Amino acid sequence: MKINPNIFRAYDIRGIYPDDLNEIVVSQIVKAFCVFYPKAQKIVLSRDPRLSSPSLYRAAINALIAAGREVIDIGVSSDPLFYFSIFHYHFDGGIMISGSHNPKEYNGLTLHIRKPDREISEDVIGKDLEKIKKMVTKGEKIDLPEAFGQRGKITILDPARDYINFVTARIELKRPLKIIIDSGNGACGFLPEKVFKKLGCQVETLYGDFDGNFPHHLPDPYQEKNLLDIQKRVLEKKADLGLAFDADGDRVAPIDNQGRRISGDFCLLMLARQILQKKRGPVVHCMRVSKAFLDEMEKEGIKTYFSVSHHNAVIEKIIEKGAVFGGEITYHFLFPLDYYLCDEAIFSSLKLAEVASKVKDLANHVDSLPRYYASPEVFIDSTDGEKFKIIENLEKYLRERNFDFIDVDGARINFSGGWALARASNTEPKIKCRFEGETKEDLIRIEKKALEIFKKVEMPVTEKTYLELGLKE
């Protein structure tokens, strides 16, 4: 069977079921994982509620058993429980069957391995993932070594109680909050509600039942259209805080008491301020971070570091720089002073709740934060084969003309009064762009100038992009 190599992304594996990702493909990938990591014997396995996940899950179990591994079966579980299980019980690695925030016809795998010399569990990425890709896509059956001849076993584990006790012991709310949660029928389910109730909060959960059809909305809180129900409910119940989780539980978008989504930039700033009160130190952030955030950190004498936009890259940068906090404006946050170095949304929601509990009115607090004029993030359609080539051409164009730009992940071009960013998506055949200006006039000027540059390197900028930015071509 020929396997589409494009399902292997920079940091994980994603594809449409069953055309690109099916039971045979999953079996081959898991077997390759076992061959590549022969010492990883105890493997945590979890899945999201997608309709294709049970069948892919069984394929993964069968492959692990055939390889003589012990499967730590935690069933339908979010990233918080998945990572916690690997760390807390000292297992060797894990495999998550999940399509993350992609549409329901997608599914995927994220492979994890616990590094014996470091207190982290890392995604299998880069050269290691490339080697697994080559094993899987060369079109040959993957034979397990004779040493794997003894069949493995399955151990059922429910880590929820230990997890709830562990995370709540690390949180102190100044006052109990009234909270609305939207799990979007994803893997978080009613777990966040149980966590916050243990802290004395009054909690209501929308769409806590697992349903891979995602009948109410796609569980992707980065998209405003998916937040309409929770925003309405926060206002109806006069709640202090709303929390919308994504499908696998690695992102959470907060809603203030006026029913407004709090942007990732504001979350980064609020959380960084909170952490820096505890301990001053470097901060790691993604390429899309606001200049307002960077300006405040510079004013406070805090060193900041750009990172590739993926939690594994942020983790590596945190370790390298000894950072006290790291995050991305897409609602990924990491707390090295307080929790394991892993990307999980429930602990992030608890830290955001700590902020909310310390202020009288969350909306007023958000309104007091410094801000510039930022565009929405716009997506330019491309292909998985072309998107990286276009960004390479852009970087070459900027370098040859002596532009001031940062090339950590795509190209962030510094202009007078603001910046523009273009980067290839890790998960979709798209190029993601964002723009910011200190004034509205700065923003419009930068958007127009940057789009002209993008077109010169044959980025497929269309009228749609101009319309989304409120510009006329």
pLDDT of residue 284: 98
pLDDT confidence tier of residue 402, bands split at 50, 70 and 90: very high
165: in domain: no
pLDDT confidence tier of residue 12, bands split at 50, 70 and 90: confident
Residues 154 and 192 in one domain: no
pLDDT confidence tier of residue 149, bands split at 50, 70 and 90: low
Listed in sequence order, the residues at least 6 apart from 302 whose beta carbon sits closer than 8 Å to its beta carbon are 272, 276, 280, 281, 282, 283
Q: Please identify, among 196, 222, 255, the residue that sits at the C-terminal boundary of a domain.
A: 255
pLDDT confidence tier of residue 427, bands split at 50, 70 and 90: confident
d(CA 425, CA 265): 19
Q: Is the pLDDT of residue 228 over 70?
A: yes
d(CA 194, CA 248): 17
Residues 12 and 143 in one domain: yes
Report the predicted TM-score, pTM, of the whole model to 2 decimal places: 0.94
pLDDT of residue 384: 83
Higher pLDDT, 136 or 9: 136
166: in domain: no
Q: Which of 363, 371, 356, 405 is nearest to 296 (CA)?
A: 371
pLDDT of residue 386: 95
Residues 382 and 250 in one domain: no
Mean pLDDT of 34-60: 96
> What CATH number is given to the structural domain containing 293?
3.40.120.10
Residues 462 and 440 in one domain: yes
* Residue 146 burial (CB count, 10 A): 6
Residues 152 and 12 in one domain: yes
410: in domain: yes
Residues 411 and 428 in one domain: yes
pLDDT of residue 114: 85
Mean pLDDT of 37-58: 96
pLDDT confidence tier of residue 428, bands split at 50, 70 and 90: confident
Mean pLDDT of 167-187: 98
Higher pLDDT, 6 or 421: 421
State yes or no: is 100 an active-site residue.
yes
Q: Please identify, among 100, 127, 160, the residue that sits at the C-terminal boundary of a domain.
A: 160
Residues 251 and 275 in one domain: no
The percentage of the chain sitting over the pLDDT mark of 90, rounded to a whole number, equals: 88
Q: Is the pLDDT of residue 119 over 70?
A: no
pLDDT of residue 324: 98
Q: Is the pLDDT of residue 50 over 80?
A: yes
29, amino acid identity: I
> What CATH number is given to the structural domain containing 434?
3.30.310.50
pLDDT of residue 473: 62
382: in domain: yes
Residues 187 and 152 in one domain: no
Residue 76's alpha-carbon distances to 49, 64, 195, in angstroms, are 6, 18, 17
3 state DSSP class of 106: strand
pLDDT of residue 117: 54
Residues 12 and 152 in one domain: yes
Q: Which of 8, 25, 34, 12 is nearest to 79 (CA)?
A: 12
Q: Please identify, among 91, 126, 160, the residue that sits at the C-terminal boundary of a domain.
A: 160
For the segment 334-345, what is each residue's pLDDT rounded down to a tens digit?
999 999 999 899
Q: Is the pLDDT of residue 29 over 80?
A: yes
171: in domain: no
Host domain of residue 435:
373-468
Q: Is the pLDDT of residue 118 over 80?
A: no
Q: Share the mean pLDDT of the chain.
A: 94
170: in domain: no
Residues 43 and 137 in one domain: yes
Count up the domains in the chain and report the number.
Answer: 4
Beta strands of 226-347 (E only): which ranges?
241-245, 252-255, 283-285, 304-306, 325-328, 332-334
The percentage of the chain sitting over the pLDDT mark of 70, rounded to a whole number, equals: 96
pLDDT of residue 302: 98
pLDDT confidence tier of residue 235, bands split at 50, 70 and 90: very high
Residues 136 and 208 in one domain: no
Mean pLDDT of 343-372: 97
pLDDT of residue 146: 62
365: in domain: no
Higher pLDDT, 237 or 343: 237
pLDDT confidence tier of residue 122, bands split at 50, 70 and 90: low
Residues 40 and 155 in one domain: yes
368: in domain: no
Residue in 100, 357, 375, 425 annotated catalytic: 100
